Each structure stands twice: as structure tokens, then as C-alpha cells.
Amino acid sequence: MTKRSGILFAVGATVAGLVTAAPSPATADIGAQRAVSLKWTDCATKSSPTLQCSSVRTPLDHDNPSGREISLALTRVPHTSKTFQGPLLVNPGGPGGSGLSMAGFVAASLPKAVAAQYDVIGFDPRGVGKSRPALDCVPKYSDPVRPDSVPRSLRDEQVNRNRARFFAAACGKKYPDLLPYMDTVSAAKDLDVIRRAAGAPKLNYLGYSYGTYLGSVYAKLFPDRVRRLVLDSNVDPTGIWYDDNISQDYAFDARHKAFAAWVAKYHGTYGLGSDPAKVEAAWYRMRDAVRKHPAGKKVGASELDDTFLPGGYYNGYWPVLAEAFAGYVNHKDEKALVKAYERFGAVDAEGDNGYSVYTAVQCRDAQWPRDWNVWRSDAWRVHDKAPLMAWSNTWYNAPCADWPVEPLNPVRVANHGLPPVLLFQATDDGATPYEGGVTLHRELRGSSLVVEQGGGNHGVTLGGNACLDKFLTDYLAKGTVPRGKGADVDAVCAKTPDPKPATGKAGKAASRTGAESRGSALHGMLGFRN
């Protein structure tokens, strides 16, 4: 699961509830039969000079294909090779992430000879971005300064509880006709509408984060329509969605400790100490200070959490975050924190849309506890050992405790009828912990799992690791996957090295160059959740 700052899952205990099998492919195909051929128009950009745009109509309710339609926005970089392998749909995760910019990025990042063999297609899922209608339940819901996520009294807790209830009620009042159809199964059926409109008998797909679950559900619904399937940074399909967040909270806390250790390694640069534990303690003292007196009247405790969360997704952000951290602690530089917040943590209209879709899909996809005592107990239990995101995670998902639409049951994605599927997973991923990749590998019989040993970034292919990208390229070019002797891992790549501090003119220039690198570009697009 991927998220922009603050976009996390609730922590939790086991939720009682059935896990159902997916609808039959025959039923799932009803809506797809209505799609027509796509009409592409030029929408070139400087970085994607051959980019084209289109849209496709899809049933709001796939079980009622003659009813209301909605539209999905699409982009495409068309193939140029005589060898044509069909459409390659790409998804950056979420739910709630826009995929329109992914087409140009993926086409430019793959070797030219491989990209030329595919129509690389990006899309905004239902409710997202330029698709219509687009959701925005409560504009400016995350504007600063918000209440501290960690309650110090029952009154504090009730303030955030009321905010979450208000958000759920506002969504229900504003979109009563849409919310019943904001779910992963509906989104997966939309993929098949796109496939049919593109005139392809089978689909190629590359999904990151939540996109791995979307792809797995599509494969369950339409196993005979899967040609090549790449899943990067994998959601644990057995924990949708409440249980997945226990391991996620612990994993993000571990990534924060890794950040503190990196800062301690460069004590000579940042002056925050050479003991990782003391650096981490200094961060929490900073958090307490801005809780009492928000930096620049904009960055309180919750905004600070949002600012540093992206560092758990991508260590390329560590130098900038460390400078802001050191500036505040050593020099009381509030402007540095505000600048970092505006870059990494602030939520704009796109973020409002993303969070609205996130909650709509997550709350509809699966059962969540309705007893608030369960949420409270779990949040404090996790907070005791992994305090970084336990409570902010809880509040991010708290609307699901009062969601106005009854939940579905998660799809059991176990699949024995697919061609070889290629999975990628970093061992220290915070957003989708390693165990999820191993679980999905076991669920998808015949799949191949490539591991980035020691890697902590979320989203690892096309991010600068040549070893990982070679496996991806071979698969897209020839359909080949590695086969290891072990049960869980088929191939291992060394991690991409951690960044260096970006100080001085030369360092800052290198940092600006790095911001344009594939790694930075990729993680900018993966900024919206799961």
C-alpha cells in the first residue's frame, strides 16, 4: 500500500469475517462487453513527446451493465516496434493514486527495445484524478494545524474520533450513489474494460503497492486473460485491510530507526549525535516541541509525522529531512521544517481526492471493527513498541469504523491457473512488509519472487537497481523468470546504496540532480499509499 504523507492503514487485531472467493469470470465480464475502441489524442509533454490521452466508459455497477456509466482517464505511449506484445497497464498503488504519469515514466525507464514492443497505458482508477466523477469528501480535511494524533486524554481522543466520524458521514451524504461501487473488485473489472477497449485478448500489467492487490484480484477474476503480470512491493492478501497494518506499523517504525542510524552515521554533518537511540530521542523531543508550539504556526506534531513519513518509503529523501531535523534542533530553524512539510507533507486537492478514494475503497473492501474499544486497544498496544505511526495510522483509517456502506469480504486471490508471474520485494520495506511478498508468492502458484536484500524502499523496480531491472526487462521481453531452489525466493539482488548527505554547493547540486533521477521520479508517483 502506498500513501502520501499521513496516508496509512489502521493498526489492528484480527477481524472476524469470511473471505470469499472471487466472482466467476462469466459474471465479471458482463460490464466489459460494453466497451468500445479507444480514440487517442496527442497530449505530449517535454518528457513524453509521444504521449497520448483518451478515456473509456465503464459501468458504475458491473452487475448492471445497462445502468449508469462513469469514465476512466487514460494515457498511452504507443509501441513503435514491429514486434507488438500488447498493452502494458501500469498502476502506482493507492487506492487513490493517479496513474496517468506512469505511462511516460515506465516507457522512458525501460530499455527502448523493450518499451517499443508495448502500448504502455496509465490510468486513473474510478473516482481518481481526471476520471469522472472524482471523489472529494471533505476538501482541506488535512489542512494544518490538526490535533495531535497521540491522545493524552479521553477528550483528545474524542476530538479525533469526531473528525473521523464527520469524514465518514460527509462521504456518505455527498456520494451515496458511488460509495457502494468503490471497491477493488469493481476496479479490477474496469481493467478488463480497458483491455477490451484496447483490442487485446490478454493483458500485461505492472503494479506497485496496492496495485499488487488490484493485479492479483484481476488475475483471480480473469486468469485466462493474464499474459504477463509484474507485482512490486506486495500487499499481504490475507490481511486485507485491518490486520496488514500491525506489521506495517512495526515496519515503518523500523524504517524510522534506520533513518536515525543514518543520521547518527553522519554526526559530523548533522551534529545530532553518533548514537542512533539518542538521535531518535531527539526527534521525539522535536515532535513534543512542535506539538506545544507548531513551527511557523503550520507544523504541529501530526504535520511533523506527515513530513517524515515519506522517508519511510524512500531513503532518497533522508538528506533533505535530516537537514530540516538538524536545523530545528540545533538552530531553532522553524523555516526548515515548514519548507520540508510543504515539500513532503502538505496535502493539496489531489491529496484530498486520493484520501477520499483511499477510504472509500478500503472501507468497502473488507470488514473493520465497529467497536471503537478494539481500535483503541490495538493502537496503544502497538504504540508501546512502535510509536511512530500507531496512532496516526489509526486516525487515518478511523472513518471505516463508521463507514456508511456495508463492507464486502476480501477476495481470496490464491491462483493455480496463471502463466509465470514475477514478484519483487525489498526485505525492509515499511509500507508492504516482506512477509506479504512471500505470502503472495505462495498464493500464486508458479510465480517467481525476486528479493532486494537489505532494501528498505517501497517500489524497487525502475528505481535505479540494475540487478532488479534486468529481471524485469527479461520478463517483459521474453517472458522468462528466475527459478531458485528454495521454496520462498527465486533470486536475490543487493540493495541500492543509501544516499550521502547533500551539503555544500556540490552536494546540493547532486541532490537536485538526484531529484530528477528515476528513483526520485518513481517515488514521487508512488506517493499515494498502499
Catalytic residue numbers, as ranges: 209, 429, 458
Q: Could you give the CA distance from residue 245 to residue 180 in angstroms, rounded to a whole number?
A: 24
Helix (H, G, I), strand (E, B) or coil at 117: coil
C-alpha cell of residue 400? 471505516
In the block, which residue shows the cell 553522519? 266
Q: Could you give the CA distance from residue 447 to residue 484 in angstroms, rounded to a whole number?
A: 11
Determine contact, residues 131/194, Cβ cutoff 8 Å.
no
Q: Could you give the CA distance from residue 49 to residue 33 in angstroms, rounded to a whole number?
A: 32
Q: Which helix (H) or strand (E) holds 140?
A: none
- Distant-in-sequence, close-in-space partners of 117: CB < 8 Å, separation ≥ 6: 79, 81, 83, 84, 85, 476, 477
Nearest Cα neighbor of 108 from 120, 94, 125, 98 is 120
Residue type, 370: R
- Distant-in-sequence, close-in-space partners of 6: CB < 8 Å, separation ≥ 6: 142, 302, 305, 306, 309, 345, 347, 392, 396
User: From the CB of residue 117, how many other CB atoms can be counted at a distance below 10 Å?
Assistant: 20
Q: Could you say which DSSP state residue 335 is in?
A: H
User: From the CB of residue 138, how many other CB atoms can be counted at a distance below 10 Å?
Assistant: 18
Cα angle vertex 317, ends 428, 460, to 5°?
40
Cα angle vertex 108, ends 103, 113, to 5°?
110
Nearest Cα neighbor of 4 from 410, 349, 468 is 349
Q: Could you say which DSSP state residue 3 is in?
A: -
What are the helix (H) ranges across 225-300? 244-265, 267-270, 276-292
- CB-based burial label for 296 (10 Å; 0-12, 13-18, 19+): middle
Q: Could you give the CA distance from residue 360 to residue 126 in angstroms, rounded to a whole number?
A: 11
Determine contact, residues 113/379, Cβ cutoff 8 Å.
no
Query: Residue 176's Cα: distance from chain center in Å?
Result: 26
Nearest 10 degrees: Cα torsion 470, 474, 475, 479: -170
C-alpha cell of residue 263? 543520521
Determine contact, residues 482/450, Cβ cutoff 8 Å.
yes
Helix (H, G, I), strand (E, B) or coil at 431: coil
Residue type, 335: K
Q: Could you say which DSSP state residue 10 is in?
A: P
Q: Could you give the CA distance from residue 449 to residue 435 in angstroms, rounded to a whole number?
A: 12
